[in-house]
Amino acid sequence: MQARVKWLDGMAFVGETETGHAVVMDGAPEFGGRNLGPRPMEMLLLGLGGCTGFDVIAILKKARQPVLDCEVLMEAVRSEKVPKVFTEIAVHFRVYGTGLAEKQVARAVELSATRYCSASMMLGASASITHDFEIIEGPAPRASAQTAGET
């Protein structure tokens, strides 16, 4: 796997993946940024959510569970001292479906956390990571344009 990060200006960088995708990262204004994109540490947290979410959906589909949607909500605490690594991360899954088996969802979350999610394994070296879930019967509510930008 290869990636490239190139400085744009100020504290903005563009990250490019070998698969042809790009994302702009920027710093907070108080550090010379212009808030043009997520912070690098936010990207790490998003990577964790994507990695573990991918696992959970794949496991549930393989188990033929009627999953309709999934959200991964994360909250992280960083060290006060440099390097300001994550010290605690709470991962909460909202799994939507009709007739989902709680045992299957619990197993999918557990397998991702302990066996499959590479991001969890790496971040777990410096942070205490907890995982929990809730099952919501039916489809996920549709987000409006206003609420989608607020999350």
Query: What is d(CA 56, CA 117) in angstroms, rounded to the nearest whole number?
Result: 9
What confidence score (pLDDT) does residue 98 get? Answer: 95
CB 104 within 8 A of CB 60: yes
Backbone angles phi, psi at 113, to 5 degrees: -65, -35
**Domains of the chain, CATH where assigned:** 1-37 (2.20.25.10), 40-150 (3.30.300.20)
pTM of the model: 0.88
CB 45 within 8 A of CB 76: yes
What confidence score (pLDDT) does residue 148 get? Answer: 46
Query: What is d(CA 30, CA 9) in angstroms, rounded to the nearest whole number?
Result: 15
Structure tokens belonging to residue 49: 């959510």
What confidence score (pLDDT) does residue 140 get? Answer: 85
Per-residue pLDDT of 99-137, as tens digits, reads: 999 999 999 999 999 999 999 999 999 999 999 999 999
* Residue ranges for the chain with pLDDT beneath 50: 145-151
Count of CB atoms within 10 A of residue 101's CB?
A: 14
Instruction: Characterize 72-90 residue by residue with b for buried, 16 or more Cβ atoms within 10 angstroms of its Cβ, and e for exposed.
Output: beeebeeeeeeeeebeebe
H or E stretch including 107?
helix 102-111
